[in-house]
C-alpha cells in the first residue's frame, strides 16, 4: 500500500497545487490503480474535497500542529505506519527519519523563494530551504513538474542530486470544462474581452498586463480585460504592499477592467471559451497551468518565454521576450487582435496535441511507474 499525503489541501485555497493533486488522483483512477493507494487528509475538511477523493480509501487526522511538522514526523504520528511501504508527498515535505524499510517520493513544485527572495520573510525562506534540502537527501525520488525546475534545483543545490530528480509534467484535466451548464453562476459578457488570471503576487506580473492593456485600449476602446482570481479588499502587512496598492489603483481607474473574483469550473470554462484570447504574463512558474488549459481549449494564448512557460506550452503559444516590457506585451496583444481569425484556427488545430500530452491518465502512469515499482 502506498500512502499519498493530502494534508496540504485546504479546499479551494491552494490553487494550482490543489488542481494538480486532484488531477493526479483522477488519472490514477482512470488507470484503475486506486486500490494501491490510500490518502492522508485533514479531518476538518471532510466532505469539502473534490468527489474524486471518494474513490480512495482515506485516513483522516486532526492536525494539532503545522501540517509540515506533521509530515516531518509522519513515522511517529501516524497509526498503522508499518502497513505502508512507500509514501508520496505531493508538496515538498519529506519525513526527517523513517522506521524500517520505507521509501519516500516527494514533489518540489518550484524554487520561487530562491529566485524572488524579497517576496518571503527570512523565516519562510529558511523553512523552504531546509525542507527542500531535507527532501533532496531523504526522498528516494524527487519529482519536479518541468525541466526548468530540475535545472533550477541543480543550480541552487548542486549537481550531486541530478540522478535523484525526475521530471514529470503536471496532469491537466480539461474534461472539467466539458459540461454545458444550464445556468452560468456569474456575469455573462456581451462585449469583446481579453481574459487573464489575476493575482496579487508581483511575479505574476498582472501590473504589466494592465499597463499594456491601457495602451491597447487607446487603439481598441471597445475591448475589455477580464481578470479572474481573488484580489483582496483589505491589504496590510504584506512584503509587496506597494505593488498590491498600485495594482488595485490601476484596476479601479479603468472601467474596462473587470475582476470576477474566484469562479467555479463552469464559469471558468465560459470565460476561457468566450474570450478573444488569453494572456498569461508571469515572470516565474514551476509549471503554469492556466496557459496550458487555455491552449488545450483552443484559445489563442500569449505568454512569456521565462522559467517553464515555453517548455510547458510546447513552443506553440505567442511569446513575449521581455515580460516586464509593457510596449512589447501591448504589441503582441495588438497582433493577436488583428490576426484573430487565423490564430483561432491555428490554436484549435494544435489543441488536441496539448490535451493528449497532459491527459491525467498519461501523466499518472508515469507517477505510478515510478512509485509503485
The CATH number given to whatever domain includes residue 80 is 3.40.50.2000
- Same domain? For 10 and 149 the reply is yes
Strands 301-304 and 257-261: unpaired
Q: Bridge partners of 193?
A: 224
Per the CB < 8 A criterion, the answer to whether 131 and 113 are in contact is: no
- Domain residues for the domain of 31 are 2-171+359-372
Residue 180, pLDDT score? 58
pLDDT of residue 110: 97
Residue 245 has which C-alpha cell? 496598492
Nearest to 132 by CA among 148, 115, 116, 109: 109
Q: By the 8 A CB rule, do 201 and 231 touch?
A: no
Same domain membership, residue 119 and residue 7: yes
Taking residue 105's Cβ as centre, other Cβ atoms within 10 Å add up to 23
Same domain, 278 and 367: no
Is residue 124 domain-shared with residue 186, that is, in the same domain?
A: no
Count CB-CB contacts under 10 A for residue 355.
17
Strand order in the sheet with 165-167: 57-61, 37-42, 2-5, 86-89, 103-107, 141-144, 165-167
Q: What is the residue whose three cell numbers read 512584503?
A: 239
Residues in the chain: 373
199 and 252 part of one domain: yes
Residues 333 and 233 occupy one common structural domain: yes
In this structure, are 184 and 244 located in the same domain? yes
Indicate the helix (H) or strand (E) that contains 254: none
Residues 209 and 131 in one domain: no
Residue that is written with C-alpha cell 508571469 in the block: 282
Q: Which residues lie across from 2 on neighbouring strands?
A: 37, 86
Number of compact structural domains in the chain: 2
Q: Are residues 166 and 88 in the same domain?
A: yes
The answer on 181 and 84 residing in a single domain is no
The answer on 267 and 241 residing in a single domain is yes
Yes or no: say if 292 and 358 are a contact pair by the CB < 8 Å rule: yes
How crowded is residue 13: how many other Cβ atoms within 10 Å of its Cβ?
9
Per-residue pLDDT of the chain (373 residues; tens, 9 = 90+): 899 999 999 887 657 888 999 999 999 999 999 999 999 999 999 999 999 999 999 999 998 888 889 999 888 888 777 788 899 999 999 998 765 678 899 999 999 999 999 889 999 999 999 999 999 999 999 999 999 999 999 999 999 999 999 999 999 999 888 765 556 666 788 899 999 987 778 899 999 999 999 999 999 999 999 999 866 665 555 677 888 888 888 988 999 999 988 888 888 999 999 999 999 999 999 999 999 999 999 999 999 999 999 999 999 999 999 999 999 999 999 999 999 999 999 999 999 999 999 999 999 999 999 998 7
Angle (deg, nearest 10), helices 340-357 and 289-296:
110
pLDDT score at 320: 97
Q: Are residues 106 and 241 in the same domain?
A: no
Q: What is the pTM of this model?
A: 0.92
Mapping DSSP to helix (H, G, I), strand (E, B) and coil, where does residue 155 land?
helix
Q: Where are the beta strands (DSSP E) in the chain?
A: 2-5, 37-42, 57-61, 86-89, 103-107, 141-144, 165-167, 193-197, 224-228, 257-261, 278-280, 301-304, 318-320
Cα–Cα distance for residue pair 311/272, rounded to 1 Å = 22
The SS3 call for residue 261 is strand
Instruction: In whole angstroms, give the CA distance from residue 68 to residue 85.
Output: 21
Amino acid at each position: 500500500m502506498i500512502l499519498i499525503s493530502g494534508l496540504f489541501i485546504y479546499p479551494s485555497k491552494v490553487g494550482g497545487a490543489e488542481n494538480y493533486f486532484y488531477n493526479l488522483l483522477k488519472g490514477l483512477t482512470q488507470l484503475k490503480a486506486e486500490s494501491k493507494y490510500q490518502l492522508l487528509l485533514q479531518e476538518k475538511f471532510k466532505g469539502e474535497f473534490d468527489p474524486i477523493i471518494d474513490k480512495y480509501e482515506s485516513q483522516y487526522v486532526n492536525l494539532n500542529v503545522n501540517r509540515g511538522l506533521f509530515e516531518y514526523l509522519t513515522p511517529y504520528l501516524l497509526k498503522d505506519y508499518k502497513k505502508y511501504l512507500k509514501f508520496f508527498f505531493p508538496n515538498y515535505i519529506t519525513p526527517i527519519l523513517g522506521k524500517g524499510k520505507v521509501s519516500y517520493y516527494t514533489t518540489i513544485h518550484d524554487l520561487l523563494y530562491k529566485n524572488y527572495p524579497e517576496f518571503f520573510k527570512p523565516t519562510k525562506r529558511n523553512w523552504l530551504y531546509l525542507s527542500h534540502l531535507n527532501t533532496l537527501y531523504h526522498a528516494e525520488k524527487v519529482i519536479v513538474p518541468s525541466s526548468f525546475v530540475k535545472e533550477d534545483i541543480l543550480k541552487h543545490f548542486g549537481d550531486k542530486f541530478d540522478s535523484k530528480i525526475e521530471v514529470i509534467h503536471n496532469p491537466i484535466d480539461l474534461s472539467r470544462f466539458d459540461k454545458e451548464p444550464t445556468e452560468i453562476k456569474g456575469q455573462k459578457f456581451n462585449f469583446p474581452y481579453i481574459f487573464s488570471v489575476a493575482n496579487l503576487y508581483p511575479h505574476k506580473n498582472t501590473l504589466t498586463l494592465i499597463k499594456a492593456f491601457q495602451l491597447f485600449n487607446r487603439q481598441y476602446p471597445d475591448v475589455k480585460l477580464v481578470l479572474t482570481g481573488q484580489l483582496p479588499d483589505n491589504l496590510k502587512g504584506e512584503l509587496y504592499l506597494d505593488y498590491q496598492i498600485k495594482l488595485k489603483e490601476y484596476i479601479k481607474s479603468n472601467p474596462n477592467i473587470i475582476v470576477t473574483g474566484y469562479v467555479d469550473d463552469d464559469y471558468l470554462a465560459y470565460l476561457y471559451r468566450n474570450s478573444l484570447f488569453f494572456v498569461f504574463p508571469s515572470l516565474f512558474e514551476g509549471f503554469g497551468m492556466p496557459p496550458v488549459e487555455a491552449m488545450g481549449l483552443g484559445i489563442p494564448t500569449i505568454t512569456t518565454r521565462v522559467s517553464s512557460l515555453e517548455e510547458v506550452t510546447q513552443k506553440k503559444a505567442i511569446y513575449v521576450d521581455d515580460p516586464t516590457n509593457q510596449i512589447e506585451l501591448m504589441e503582441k496583444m495588438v497582433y493577436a487582435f488583428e490576426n484573430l481569425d487565423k490564430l483561432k484556427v491555428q490554436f484549435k488545430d494544435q489543441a488536441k496535441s496539448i490535451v493528449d500530452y497532459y491527459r491525467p491518465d498519461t501523466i499518472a502512469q508515469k507517477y505510478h511507474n515510478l512509485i509503485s515499482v
